[in-house]
C-alpha cells in the first residue's frame, strides 16, 4: 500500500534511483498477482458455467478472457477519502498489499491494522506478498490471524482451494474501462435488435412525434448531414436509446432497486424523473406480441450487465466513457462535444468559493462540472440536499440531460446513502435559444402546452408586482421548480398507474393528485402555478400528451424545463462554469443563428466598425455564450474555449481572439472584474484542438 503522493510520483515518472527500482518491483508483483487471480477465477467461473449455463457466468467468463486484467480485480482503492490507497482487492473478501522485499511484511501487517483498517476490517483475508513469498492472514474482529507463510506455489493452491471458493459473488469494479469492456460485449447485437424494433413502429403515431422532435434537435446540432442523413439520425437515435436504457439500469443496480425490466430501463423505478420521453419510445412495443420478445432480449442483456457491476465501490465518469465508445469521435466532434477531464474541472472550480452559491453549467453535457461542484460543496460542509439544490445544468441533448441527472443522483447516493427525494436541477433547455430568442423545444406535440406556459410566465413577470419586484434569488426559484417537478412526476406516475390510457380518467386524477401534492406548499409561485394549471386546463393537455405517446409518462422534466427556460432568464446564478460547444459562427445553422450574429456584430462594431464583418467571420458561438454568461453571473464565470478563439501566444492575433476580446470587453463595460487567461500548450482533449480557459471574477475596483 502506498500514499497518494507515492502514486502520483510513479505516474509522472519522478521516482529515481533505488526508489525507481522499488516501484518497478512493486508493479511486477501487482501484474503477476493479477494474472494469477485471473487464471484462478477463470477456473471457478468455467466450472460454474458448465453446471448452470447461466448468462451471468458466461458474461464473466468472457470478461476474464479479455486482456484487461483489472476487470474483476480493483486496483489502488482509496481509503475513505484519504490520500491512502490499498494496492488491490478481490471482491470484498480479500485485500492485497504488495511489497518489494520480505522484510517489509511486518510493516504491512502494522499498516493493515492501523492506516487501512477501515477497509481491511470489512474483508475476510489480508495478503501481503513479494510474489516469491506470501503471508496470508484471516481478518478477525480484533486484528489479523496468520494462516499461511509460503512460496508462490503453495499460495496458488491456498487461493484456489481455500479463498476463491468463499467468494460470495464476483462483481466488476465500476472503473470506466471496465464498464466499457462489459457493455462492448455483443452491444452491436442489441443495437441491431433495437433498430429492427424501431423500423417496425417508426410510423406509429405514438412513436413518430418523439423521433421527429429528437431528429429536429439533432439536425440543429449537427447541421447538414451528407448523403444518407436519415440513416445517420436513426442510428444516433438507436444508440442514444440504448445508452439511456443502460444508464437507468446501472442507476437501479447501484441503488439496489429490484423492479421489472421495463421499469428499470425506463426510469419508472425512481420517485423522480431521470429519463426524457423521446428515448422511451420503445415502451409502446410492450403491447405488441411480435416485438415484445425481441425487446425483452435487449432489456435482459442491459439489466444483466448492470447487475455485474459492484457500484458500492463508487463510480466517477463511468457513463461518459460508455457514451464515448457508443458514439463515434467524428460524430461527437461535429457538435463540439469535448468532454472535460476531471483535473481541468477541479482546477477551474478551485478558482471560486462555491459554498452556499448557485452554480450553473449552461452546457452541462454528462454533468462533470455539476458532480464535482456538488462534491466540493459537501466537502466544504454543506449537506447533500443543500448542495444538490444549488447546482444547475442545461443541455439541448436529451440523452445528456438523462446522463447528468443520473450522475448527480449517483453522487448524492454516495454522500447520503440514499436516493434524493427531489429531482436534480438539470433541464432540457437549448441555452443558446433561451439567450438569443429561439424556439424553446422542437416538439410540435408540446406546442399548445409551451404557448400556455410562456404566456402565463410572461404575464407573471410583467404584471404581478409582488412577483416581479420581490427580491427573489435564483435559489428561491430553483426551490419552486423542484417542488413543481416533484409534484408533476408524482401526479403523472400515479394517475397513469390507475388510468393507463383513459384520457378522462387521467385528466381527473392528474388534477386531484397535483392539488394534494401542492396544497401544503407555502410558495406564492407554486400556488400561482396550481391556479394556472386549473384555469388553462393543463390537466387535459398533459393527459392527451401521455395517451398520444402510448403511456409514456416521463414528461415532468420536459414540462419543468419549459418553465425553467423563462424563469432563469430573469434570475441570475452566482457562478457559471462550462465547456461550451466549439462551433464556428459560420457553421452554426440553428433557427436563431442570425440573432447570435446580430448580437456579436453589434458589440464588435461598437469598437472596430470598419472590419467588424471580417472579425465576425472568425468568431465562435462560444464567444457569444461567454458574453451572455458574464452579464448573467453575479460573481464570476469560467469558460473553456478553443485557444484560437481566446489566447494563443505563439501566433499573431486572430479574428476569433479579437471577437472574443471585444465581446468580453463590452460585457464588462459597466462592471469591475479580474480576468485570468490560462493557455494549454498541449492537446488536453486528445482531438487535435488545444484549449484555453478564461476566468472572470467580478470585483469592487477590479480590472
Q: Put residue 137 in one of left, alpha, beta given phi > 0 → left and psi -120 to 50 → alpha.
A: beta
Instruction: Say what the pLDDT of residue 487 is.
Output: 95
pLDDT recorded at residue 701: 43
pLDDT of residue 472: 63
- CA dist 20 and 114 (Å) reads 27
Which letter does DSSP use for residue 172 in this model? B
Q: How many CA atoms lie within 13 A of 545 on its CB side?
A: 24
Give the contacts of 227 (CB within 8 A, at least 6 positions apart): none
Between strands 359-361 and 144-151, the pairing is: unpaired
Mean pLDDT by 10 residues, the chain (703 residues): 34 36 74 90 86 83 71 67 75 90 95 92 95 97 96 95 83 77 86 96 92 87 70 93 94 91 92 93 90 94 89 72 71 65 93 97 94 96 97 94 94 93 95 88 73 81 54 80 94 93 95 93 88 92 89 87 82 92 87 94 88 90 96 95 78 80 91 91 84 91 41
Q: Give the C-alpha separation, 618 to 567, whole Å.
A: 33
Cα 577-484-565 angle, rounded to 5 deg? 45
**Sign (positive/negative) of CA torsion 468, 431, 626, 400?**
positive
Amino acid at each position: 500500500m502506498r500514499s497518494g503522493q507515492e502514486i502520483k510520483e510513479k505516474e509522472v515518472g519522478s521516482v529515481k534511483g533505488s526508489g525507481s527500482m522499488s516501484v518497478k518491483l512493486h508493479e511486477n508483483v501487482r501484474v503477476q498477482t493479477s494474472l494469477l487471480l485471473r487464471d484462478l477465477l477463470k477456473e471457478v467461473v468455467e466450472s460454474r458455467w458448465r453446471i448452470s449455463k447461466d448468462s451471468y457466468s458466461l458474461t464473466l467468463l468472457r470478461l476474464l478472457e479479455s486482456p484487461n486484467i483489472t476487470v474483476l480485480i480493483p486496483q489502488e482503492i482509496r481509503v475513505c477519502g484519504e490520500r491512502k490507497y490499498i494496492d488491490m482487492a478481490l471482491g470484498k473478501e480479500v485485500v492485497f498489499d504488495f511489497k518489494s522485499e520480505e522484510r517489509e511484511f511486518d510493516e504491512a501487517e502494522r499498516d493493515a491494522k492501523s492506516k487501512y483498517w477501515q477497509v481491511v476490517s470489512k474483508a475476510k483475508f489480508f495478503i501481503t506478498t513479494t510474489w516469491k513469498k506470501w503471508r496470508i492472514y484471516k481478518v478477525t474482529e480484533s486484528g489479523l490471524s496468520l494462516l499461511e507463510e509460503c512460496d508462490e506455489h503453495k499460495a496458488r493452491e491456498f487461493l484456489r482451494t481455500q479463498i476463491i471458493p468463499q467468494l460470495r459473488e464476483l462483481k466488476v469494479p465500476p472503473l470506466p474501462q471496465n464498464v466499457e469492456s462489459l457493455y462492448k460485449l455483443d452491444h452491436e447485437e442489441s443495437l441491431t435488435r433495437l433498430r429492427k424494433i424501431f423500423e417496425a413502429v417508426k410510423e406509429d403515431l405514438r412513436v413518430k412525434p418523439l423521433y421527429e422532435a429528437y431528429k429536429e434537435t439533432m439536425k440543429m446540432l449537427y447541421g447538414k448531414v451528407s448523403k444518407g442523413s436519415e440513416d445517420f439520425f436513426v442510428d444516433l437515435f438507436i444508440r442514444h436509446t440504448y445508452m439511456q436504457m443502460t444508464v437507468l439500469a446501472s442507476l437501479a443496480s447501484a441503488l439496489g432497486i429490484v423492479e421489472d425490466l421495463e421499469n428499470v430501463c425506463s426510469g419508472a423505478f425512481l420517485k423522480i424523473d431521470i429519463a426524457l420521453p423521446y428515448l422511451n419510445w420503445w415502451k409502446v412495443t410492450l403491447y405488441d406480441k411480435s416485438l415484445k420478445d425481441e425487446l425483452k432480449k435487449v432489456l435482459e442483456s442491459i439489466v444483466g450487465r448492470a447487475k455485474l457491476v459492484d457500484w458500492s465501490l463508487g463510480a466517477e465518469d463511468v457513463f461518459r466513457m460508455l457514451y464515448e465508445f457508443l458514439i463515434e469521435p467524428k460524430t461527437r466532434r461535429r457538435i463540439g462535444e469535448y468532454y472535460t477531464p476531471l483535473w481541468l474541472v477541479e482546477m477551474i472550480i478551485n478558482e471560486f468559493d462555491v459554498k452556499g452559491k448557485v452554480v450553473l453549467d449552461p452546457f452541462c453535457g454528462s454533468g462533470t462540472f455539476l458532480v464535482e461542484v456538488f462534491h466540493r460543496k459537501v466537502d466544504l460542509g454543506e449537506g447533500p440536499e443543500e448542495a444538490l439544490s444549488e447546482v444547475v445544468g442545461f443541455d439541448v441533448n436529451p440523452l445528456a440531460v438523462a446522463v447528468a441527472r443520473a450522475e448527480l443522483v449517483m453522487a448524492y447516493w454516495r454522500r447520503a446513502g440514499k436516493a434524493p427525494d427531489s429531482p436534480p436541477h438539470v433541464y432540457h433547455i437549448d441555452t443558446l435559444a433561451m439567450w438569443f430568442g429561439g424556439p424553446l423545444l422542437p416538439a410540435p406535440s408540446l406546442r399548445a402546452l409551451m404557448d400556455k406556459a410562456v404566456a402565463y410566465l410572461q404575464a407573471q413577470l410583467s404584471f404581478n408586482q409582488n412577483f416581479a419586484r420581490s427580491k427573489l434569488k435564483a435559489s428561491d426559484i430553483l426551490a419552486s421548480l423542484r417542488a413543481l417537478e416533484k409534484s408533476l412526476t408524482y401526479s403523472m406516475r400515479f394517475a397513469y398507474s390507475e388510468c393507463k390510457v383513459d384520457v378522462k380518467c387521467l385528466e381527473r386524477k392528474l388534477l386531484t393528485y397535483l392539488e394534494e401534492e401542492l396544497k401544503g406548499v407555502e410558495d406564492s409561485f407554486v400556488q400561482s402555478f396550481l391556479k394556472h394549471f386549473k384555469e388553462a386546463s393543463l390537466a387535459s393537455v398533459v393527459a392527451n400528451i401521455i395517451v398520444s405517446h402510448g403511456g409514456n409518462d416521463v414528461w415532468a422534466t420536459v414540462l419543468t424545463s419549459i418553465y425553467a427556460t423563462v424563469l432563469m432568464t430573469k434570475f441570475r446564478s452566482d457562478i457559471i462554469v462550462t465547456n461550451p460547444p466549439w462551433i464556428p459562427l459560420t457553421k452554426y445553422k440553428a433557427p436563431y443563428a442570425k440573432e447570435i450574429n446580430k448580437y456579436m456584430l453589434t458589440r464588435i462594431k461598437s469598437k472596430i466598425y470598419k472590419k467588424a464583418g471580417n472579425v465576425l467571420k472568425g468568431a465562435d458561438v462560444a464567444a457569444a455564450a461567454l458574453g451572455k454568461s458574464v452579464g448573467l453571473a453575479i460573481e464570476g464565470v469560467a469558460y473553456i474555449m478553443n485557444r484560437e478563439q481566446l489566447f494563443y501566444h505563439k501566433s499573431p492575433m486572430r479574428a476569433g481572439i479579437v471577437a472574443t476580446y471585444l465581446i468580453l470587453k463590452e460585457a464588462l463595460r459597466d462592471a469591475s472584474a479580474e480576468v485570468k487567461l490560462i493557455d494549454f500548450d498541449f492537446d488536453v482533449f486528445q482531438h487535435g484542438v488545444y484549449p484555453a480557459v478564461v476566468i472572470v471574477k467580478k470585483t469592487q475596483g477590479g480590472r
